Amino acid sequence: MDTAQSIDALRHGVRQARHDGRRIAFVPTMGNLHAGHLALVARAREVADYTVVSIFVNPFQFGEGEDFLTYPRTVEADCVQLEQSGVDLLFLPEAEAIYPEGPARCTRIEVPELGDVLCGAFRPTFFRGVATVVGILFNAVAPDVALFGEKDYQQLILIRRMVRDLKMAIEVLGVPTIRERDGLAMSSRNRYLSEAQRRAAPSLYLTLCELRDTLRRGAPDRASVEAAGIKTLQARGLRPDYLVVRRAVDLGLPQADDKDVRILAAAWLGRARLIDNIAV
Ligand code: AMP
């Protein structure tokens, strides 16, 4: 596995691979890798012949008072896992390589509406930071295909939208959520949970599964399912930011004939904000 720290070194590596006629896949991450990230890498290797992974804890997507400074950084262990997973090139930039004059002075990408709802309503600058850094990375890598986890479902849809709007020639693939044995979606932030909170955490996914079954049985209406879901999460000791039923393709309000529907939720457990979603 080669490692690049500068945009020039990254471009050099990718150029060589492209010159050799290889199809390039790209997996952006913030590191502290777990089986969820590795599932993206495994899928990347199935759909392309040269896999680029980036590890960058993007300061621009963290809001005031969020966990930028304490976000887990485990680069050495990450490198070992990526090497073993057959990654070809790791991009490991310092913030200066991405934002030479700081994020505040950098050209930015905003995705209207999709970036403002659900998680965007509770973290108002989050998706601007995500879209901007992914846009920069997409330009630097110029992959044929990029892979994102369905765990961050709104992010996946938003990136698809950005790629469509900005006419980027990149295929965006979603990869199903990898879970712990008890159903909790794997996440770097799960380590913020105390032992007791960790035991309570699977109830987010459990609640989504129950609501999915209710909807499949022909539930009364969307609003009452959402209200019941919020109550259940609270009863199970979580503090929900939202729990909604949305059209899967664009997160719009589902109409009666919409077949492809998803339930999405975010809820706090202590200082961990858990997000999860499920297809109905
Ligand atoms: P992060 O390092 O949290 O920014 O995540 C990097 C990529 O890994 C994103 O596309 C995430 O959606 C994806 N990812 C994170 N956790 C999981 C998971 N449990 N299952 C599948 N993909 C995941």
Distance CA 17, CA 11 (A): 10
Residue 182 located in a structural domain: no
Decide if 34 is catalytic: no
Do 33 and 120 reside in the same domain of the chain? yes
Domain end (from 175, 205, 236): 175
pLDDT of residue 199: 97
Q: Structural domain tally of the chain? A: 2
Residue 170 located in a structural domain: yes
Do 203 and 101 reside in the same domain of the chain? no
Do 269 and 195 reside in the same domain of the chain? yes
Domain end (from 136, 153, 175): 175
Do 272 and 206 reside in the same domain of the chain? yes
pLDDT of residue 42: 98
pLDDT of residue 258: 87
Name which residue sits closest to atom 6 of ligand 1, judged by CA.
29
Q: State the Cα torsion 117-118-121-126 to the nearest 10°.
A: -90
Do 168 and 233 reside in the same domain of the chain? no
Stretches where the chain sits below pLDDT 50 are none
**What distance in angstroms lies between residue 73's CA and the mean position of ligand 1's atoms?**
15
Name which residue sits closest to atom 7 of ligand 1, judged by CA.
29
Residue 230 located in a structural domain: yes
pLDDT of residue 59: 96
Atom of ligand 1 at shortest range from CA of 30:
2
Summarised one tens digit per residue, pLDDT across range 178-189 is 999 999 999 999
Do 219 and 169 reside in the same domain of the chain? no
- Give the CATH number, domain containing residue 130: 3.40.50.620
Domain that holds residue 78: 2-175
Looking at the DSSP bridge assignments, the partners of residue 4 are 91
Residue 253 located in a structural domain: yes
Do 138 and 194 reside in the same domain of the chain? no
**What distance in angstroms lies between residue 148's CA and the mean position of ligand 1's atoms?**
7
Do 76 and 204 reside in the same domain of the chain? no
Do 19 and 154 reside in the same domain of the chain? yes
Count other C-beta atoms under 10 Å from residue 158's C-beta: 23
**What DSSP character marks residue 109?**
-
**What DSSP character marks residue 230?**
H
**What distance in angstroms lies between residue 39's CA and the mean position of ligand 1's atoms?**
9
Q: CB–CB of 131/162 below 8 Å?
A: yes
What residues contact 263, with CB distance under 8 A and at least 6 apart?
A: 208, 211, 212, 215, 225, 229, 243, 244, 245, 246, 277, 278, 280
Q: Which residues line ligand 1 (CB under 6 A)?
A: 29-30, 36-37, 39-40, 148-149, 151-152, 175, 177-178, 185-188
Residue 180 located in a structural domain: no
**What distance in angstroms lies between residue 36's CA and the mean position of ligand 1's atoms?**
6
Do 150 and 195 reside in the same domain of the chain? no
Nearest residue to 1 (alpha-carbon basis) of 82, 93, 95: 82
Do 132 and 203 reside in the same domain of the chain? no
* Choice among 12, 19, 34, 37 that is catalytic: 37
Residue 181 located in a structural domain: no
Do 194 and 125 reside in the same domain of the chain? no
Query: What is the pTM for the complete model shown?
Result: 0.97
pLDDT of residue 169: 98
- Give the CATH number, domain containing residue 239: 3.30.1300.10
